[in-house]
């Protein structure tokens, strides 16, 4: 059972942090520290850190490292971001994979700051070696954030990449000492006891900025890393929201209607007013014919380079666009050629997507799909693809939105590129 008073088990480690790491000590002030006999070592939920009997059994230098590990979980808002990622991805979200990535990130930072952790311990360097990723060890913390790392780990675990040396990610992580120690945001106790601004993302960015400045001034600990932390919480707009904004902008950018014509009644009244020398009557516009609905073309890359999990995400977002957009939607499936073309009506888009017979294998060539999209005269074209293929000579006159699962998609010569890894 958790003791709602301040932790006695963590007192010595937190006091030692004031000299060993001013940055972590400052961030610790914005966390809630509790003792909890139901916790083995330590656990983070939102802004609350719970310390178990195993924590008290550690030597002081390892207590400092474990406390720093969990303080960084709080400061980097891993609980809140875990909850947000789960909401975005739904049933496909894997919380254990998320925690493996977050633990690797914070452990790498804690060790780089000069602290100790109980062995064995999972780190970002070791995780990259397990996955066979070519990465510069000196730049890992500056290049990887929790969201990007999660998508890469999830893809490798689901078999989306050929990694013979990777094995089972969970087994490899547990062999390196990983144990789940993170929960989504907090219960009633935390909401009641947390400082008023502790849960707000912008305030945590301010706390981190001040804490790291203190650390740099002291020249020790986290502030002396000398590298940018890519996982610092940033105000990010999810790619789904960016896509919807771009689509709405494209759909609204329709040609202006010609000036309205006067109604017949107004013409009659105006004619009489002219004859009698009276003032013209108030303007009355005549009826205007409703223009055609905007057209949207969605091109779905079904080539062999698209993993099954990514294809499911493509189909889920296609369904979301069919549900939200008041437009005439045409879905094109392609690899090296157009494999199917089907309309998505508001009434039966779900049935249409479920009954699709998606092709398997094949390369990617954007030239046929760009030419077909141009012939359909859409208001916007969305291409869900890994962007690996020739474009051909044609460029549609409509706005083009490229959505790629890659964390850093390749630049395209035209259109807007979105990364689905954010």
259 within a domain of the structure (yes/no): no
**CATH code at position 362:** 3.40.50.410
Residue 57, pLDDT score:
94
Q: Which burial class, exposed, middle or buried, applies to 305 when counting CB atoms under 10 A from its CB (0-12, 13-18, 19+)?
A: middle
Domain final position from 185, 205, 234: 234
Q: Look at 214-228, 234-248, 363-377 and tell me which has the smallest mean pLDDT.
A: 234-248
Domains in the chain: how many in total?
Answer: 2
- Name residue, tokens 């000196």: 138
pTM flag (> 0.75):
no
Q: Are both 205 and 342 inside the same structural domain?
A: no
What's the rounded Cα separation, in Å, for the pair 62 and 223?
Answer: 19
- Name residue, tokens 């890994």: 386
Domain final position from 200, 234, 268: 234
- 240 — phi, psi (to 5°)? -60, -40
Q: Are both 305 and 393 inside the same structural domain?
A: yes
Range of the domain at 382: 295-419
Q: Are both 309 and 181 inside the same structural domain?
A: no
Quick one: which H or E segment has residue 332?
A: strand 328-334
**Helix extents (H) in 121-277:** 124-131, 140-143, 146-157, 169-175, 188-193, 201-218, 239-252, 264-276
Top pLDDT among 327 and 221 is at: 221
Q: Are both 9 and 129 inside the same structural domain?
A: yes
Domain final position from 195, 211, 234: 234
273 within a domain of the structure (yes/no): no
Peptide bond into 18 cis (omega under 30): no
Q: Are both 20 and 154 inside the same structural domain?
A: yes
What's the rounded Cα separation, in Å, for the pair 312 and 353?
Answer: 11
271 within a domain of the structure (yes/no): no
Q: Is the pLDDT of residue 247 over 80?
A: no
Residue 188, pLDDT score:
38
């Amino acid at each position: 059972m958790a003791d709602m008073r301040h932790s006695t088990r963590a007192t010595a480690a937190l006091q030692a942090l004031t000299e060993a790491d001013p940055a972590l000590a400052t961030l610790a002030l914005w966390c809630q520290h509790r003792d909890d006999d139901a916790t083995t070592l330590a656990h983070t939920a939102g802004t609350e850190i719970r310390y178990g009997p195993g924590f008290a059994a550690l030597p002081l230098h390892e207590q400092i490292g474990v406390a720093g590990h969990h303080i960084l979980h709080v400061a980097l808002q891993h609980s809140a971001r875990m909850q947000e990622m789960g909401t975005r991805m739904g049933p496909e979200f894997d919380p254990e994979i998320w925690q493996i990535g977050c633990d690797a990130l914070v452990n790498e930072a804690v060790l780089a700051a000069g602290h100790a952790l109980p062995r064995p311990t999972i780190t970002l360097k070791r995780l990259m070696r397990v996955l066979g990723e070519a990465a510069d060890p000196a730049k890992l913390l500056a290049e990887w954030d929790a969201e990007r790392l999660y998508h890469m780990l999830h893809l490798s675990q689901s078999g989306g990449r050929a990694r013979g040396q990777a094995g089972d990610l969970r087994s490899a992580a547990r062999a390196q000492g990983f144990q789940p120690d993170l929960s989504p945001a907090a219960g009633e106790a935390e909401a009641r006891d947390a400082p008023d601004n502790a849960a707000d993302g912008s305030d945590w960015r301010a706390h981190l900025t001040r804490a790291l400045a203190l650390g740099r001034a002291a020249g020790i600990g986290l502030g002396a890393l000398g590298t940018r932390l890519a996982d610092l919480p940033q105000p990010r707009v999810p790619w789904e929201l960016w896509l919807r904004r771009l689509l709405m902008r494209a759909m609204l950018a329709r040609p202006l209607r010609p000036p309205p014509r006067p109604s017949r009644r107004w013409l009659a009244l105006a004619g009489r007013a002219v004859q009698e020398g009276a003032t013209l009557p108030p303007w009355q516009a005549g009826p205007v014919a409703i223009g055609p609905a905007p057209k949207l073309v969605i091109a779905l890359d079904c080539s062999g380079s698209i993993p099954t999990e990514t294809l499911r995400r493509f189909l889920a977002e296609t369904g979301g666009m069919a549900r939200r957009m008041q437009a005439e939607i045409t879905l094109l499936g392609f690899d090296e050629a157009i494999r199917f073309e089907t309309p998505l009506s508001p009434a039966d888009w779900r049935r249409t997507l479920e009954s699709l017979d998606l092709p398997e294998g094949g390369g990617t060539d954007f030239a046929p799909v760009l030419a077909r999209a141009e012939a359909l005269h859409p208001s916007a074209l969305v291409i869900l693809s890994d962007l690996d293929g020739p474009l051909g000579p044609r460029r549609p006159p409509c706005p083009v939105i490229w959505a790629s699962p890659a964390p850093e998609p390749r630049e395209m010569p035209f259109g807007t590129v979105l990364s689905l890894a954010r």
